[in-house]
Structure 1
Amino acid sequence: MSLGESPMDEAQALVVGIGTGFNVSPVVISKGRVAQLDVEYGHIFLPADIAAKLSARFGAQAEKLTTIEEVFSGRGYAALYALEQARAVPVTNGTTALQTSVKQEFQVFYAQLLAVLTRNLILAFLPRRGIFFAGGVARHLLSTSAKAAFVDIVREPFALNNAHPVPVHSILDDAAALKGCAVFAR
């Protein structure tokens, strides 16, 4: 590192896409250049801590959810919400308050799951420059009141001395990935 460069000039970031599917894109920033690594993270098995939380809430129904993408994607969100509705008190006509309560409780639970995954990603990729969430599922969830539950868990201290809090951001532009690719197409 030369004089005048900050340690943050050479760092890693992580883009996490949660929409139709799930994937991460580690980004390495070094000597003024940016490199992105190829990954298929959505297809790995669920971490044990997330599987345990799913099992505690949904019992044997959670056993069919085995990969990260089966939980953290649009179809994962829908599948878990269906399980949540099945375990909730049966809703009769005219009880929209109960339906809203079930949805809000589920969003908090899902935000907590995402926070646990985020902490795992922080330890796996050490993205000191930050984590950037993209995709409709992430954007929606992190714009609800459930965001507070996410923040509380992500901010918990790590047991490892080398794991530091990282900034977390939401990418609001659905076309951001295409715009980034267009830069390289020229």
Structure 2
Amino acid sequence: MALDEATTGFLRQMAESGAKPLHEMTPEEARGLGVMLRDLYGAGPDLDRVYEDAVPTPDGSSFGVRILIPNDSPRAVIVYYHGGGWVIGAIDEFDTLGRLLAERTGAAVVLVDYRLAPEHRHPTAAEDAWTALGWVEERIEQIAGSRVPLIVAGDSAGGNLAAIVAQRAGAGNGPDISLQVLVYPVTDADVDNTSKEYEGFALTPA
């Protein structure tokens, strides 16, 4: 499938910028790129309510969540896990996406700022994703005003986390999930297939 003109132009600009390839950057350098991209997205739509909270973890730490509520009676609550290879990405960088998702679906969106590698090794991200899901499920009426459907969603590494929590919940160990939405999720370790041809897309197979 051909890329749209905006995406093609953006990739061309990145290639011509002379910047170090993403896979050669340190985590700190790559995270700085994410902050730069955030400024390109622009502000998302205004919503009825936006607030932040902290989710305690079993190991005595915590991570942040941002709750985006589009109106006074959301039709569902979406727990959204951002992408970034489990190393980069933050809720500020996905705020515009979260706001658009809330506005267009009429659902409240909870952006999860799960802890990142390499500072926090596997399975920290997966455990934080699971902890966030349970935290939201316990507060769903507080967030949405009633017992609405619970949805998990994510892109790339976040799609992996959404799939993990959906399978774990489906095994009878957690909340009732009404829907999972996976955007180019990482669901296996096989890089030798046509869906993972990265050349020209800021990533490489190596």
* TM bucket normalised to smaller: 0.3 to 0.5
* TM-score, normalization by structure 1: 0.36
> Which is richer in helix?
1
Q: Which has the higher contact order (CA 8 A, sep 6+)?
A: 1
